Amino acid sequence: MSAQGGPGRATEHGDPGAAAAGATPVSGTLRMHGYSWGGPRRGFPWLGLALVAVGLGALVGLFEPRITTDSAVILSLGLIGLVALFVGRVRWVATPAVLLASWGLARVLYELELLAGPGWTWLFVGGGLLALYLYGLIAAEAHGRAIWPAALFLGIGALEVAGGLPGLERLRGAWLPVLLLGLGLLLLARGVTRPSR
């Protein structure tokens, strides 16, 4: 095919529209350079990570019958999300990964009978969110909002665990009034400290 003509002339690769896409003429032909469909950067392999998590969960369920497959998959998803956060620097996955990992870990420990009584799942989730908040302070990343649900879940968990102790049974049902009280105080504090217009 001839390289003579206007902007619709053929390239070395036989593409008549290449001249409009950034091709440069070389020795009577047009040569394409610097063009690709996906760009130089690849996306994070989320499908591969999800398949790994499901596969790990199924394997754990086969070798340890006390651990259910869904608990193992939840924990695996959380741990792989943490890998994506720390290795792949995918920041938006931080909160879901922490929630899944802490919830899955609590479920697995319950199923292995290493935890007993109510409240431990709240404590694990609250502790995970507190760790995320502290990581945000150290790494100068924006996870400041995690402190509020962390305090809430830690408080509920502490009341539930304490309610399982002899003589403190009334504390087990106290989490709802404490929740309402905490939310009310938070709204009042925000209303008082907000500058008037």
Residue 86 structural domain: 48-193
Task: Please tell me whether residues 133 and 60 are part of one structural domain.
Answer: yes
Say what the pTM is.
0.62
Q: Which residue has the higher pLDDT, 76 or 25?
A: 76
How many domains would you assign to the chain?
2
Task: Please tell me whether residues 96 and 128 are part of one structural domain.
Answer: yes
User: What is the rounded average pLDDT of the residues 156-182?
Assistant: 71
User: What is the rounded average pLDDT of the residues 2-26?
Assistant: 50
Among 15-19, 94-98, 104-108, where is mean pLDDT lowest?
Answer: 15-19
Q: What span, in angstroms and rounded, lies between the C-alpha atoms of 134 and 124? A: 15
Task: Please tell me whether residues 37 and 55 are part of one structural domain.
Answer: no
Structure tokens at 49: 């990570």
pLDDT score of 10: 46
CB count within 10 Å of CB 48 equals 10
Among 15-29, 65-79, 91-105, 142-156, where is mean pLDDT lowest?
Answer: 15-29
- 3-state SS assignment for residue 117: coil
Task: Please tell me whether residues 20 and 115 are part of one structural domain.
Answer: no
pLDDT score of 124: 94
CB count within 10 Å of CB 167 equals 7
